[in-house]
Amino acid sequence: MTAAVRKPRYERRLAGDRRQALIDATIKSLKRHGHEGLSVRRIAAEAGVSIGLINHHFPNKNTLVAESYRHFTRQLTARFQAAVLLAPPDPRARLHAFFEAVFSRPNLDPHVLTAWIVFWGLFRQSPEIRKAHDEAGRGYGELLRALLADLVEAAGTPRIDPRLTSIGLTALLDGLWLEWCLDPKNFKPDEAVSLCEAWIEGLLRTTVPATSR
């Protein structure tokens, strides 16, 4: 007669749950170990499962990574959108909330850059990753363009080129974020927000026909 209580050697899970757990483990592994974390053995260890399980739920590593990228970017933009929705309905306040969301946790984290760099490095050779990248850029860009459009409409400055404006603001945001992640002690998150606000100020002033000279 064997023992009445036996600890099972592993716990079965629904395929969907396990897939998500593997995706989460992939992101964690990339954040923690960078490019070295991009290995089925590291990912499996992070998820607490065996090596073979990955290829049971995903046809190959590349697909897992691409889906992780998709999840990663969707989560970030969803957080930005949520921050905007929580802000007062004033265009300026909503844009400010967006800035705050970009320059605070969990987005403002060197480990997030570490993961981004891995994804950037992959997208040149994997069409699947490239597709996920385009999708992410579109979501982020549309959100930012909408915020800018509202602002411009409210301010009544008609002469703004929406395309170029959003390109500039995106660059400033990404550039500041990148700079901070590469060297967090260089400046404070608040200062990054201030710089973005100053850019907006300048934008609203510039497009009104110059007052002097």
Burial class (CB in 10 A: 0-12, 13-18, 19+), 81: middle
124/64 Cα distance (integer angstroms): 17
Q: What is the dihedral of CA 134, 174, 194, 168, to 10 degrees?
A: -70
How many positions of this chain bind a second copy (CB under 8 A)? Answer: 41
Mark 55-84 with x for binding to DNA (rule: CB under 7 A) and - for no binding: xxx--xxx----------------------
Q: How far is the CB of 52 from DNA (least distance, A)?
A: 2
Amino acid, res. 72: F
79 within 8 A of 140, measured Cβ to Cβ:
no
176/207 Cα distance (integer angstroms): 24
Cβ contacts of 106 within 8 Å, gap of 6 or more: 79, 112
115/37 Cα distance (integer angstroms): 9
Q: Which of 117, 146, 149, 155 binds a second copy (CB under 8 A)?
A: 117
CB nearer to a second copy: pick between 2 and 125: 125
Q: How far is the CB of 74 from a second copy (least distance, A)?
A: 19
Under rule CB under 7 A, residue 51 binds DNA: yes
Planar angle of CA 166, 70, 65, nearest 5 degrees: 135
Q: How far is the CB of 48 from DNA (least distance, A)?
A: 7
Binding partner of residue 34 among DNA, a second copy, none, CB under 5 to 8 Å per kind?
a second copy
CB nearer to a second copy: pick between 87 and 177: 177
Q: How far apart are the first and last CA of the chain?
A: 98
Helix, coil or strand: residue 81: helix
Under rule CB under 8 A, residue 82 binds a second copy: no
Site residues (CB under 7 A) for DNA, limited to 155-194? none
CB nearer to a second copy: pick between 49 and 69: 69
Residues of the shown chain interacting with a second copy in the complex, contacts defined by CB under 8 A? 34-36, 114, 117-118, 120-122, 124-125, 133, 137, 163-164, 167-168, 170-176, 178-179, 182-183, 186-187, 191, 194-195, 198-199, 201-203, 205-206, 211
Residues of the shown chain interacting with DNA in the complex, contacts defined by CB under 7 A? 8-15, 18, 36, 38-42, 49-57, 60-62
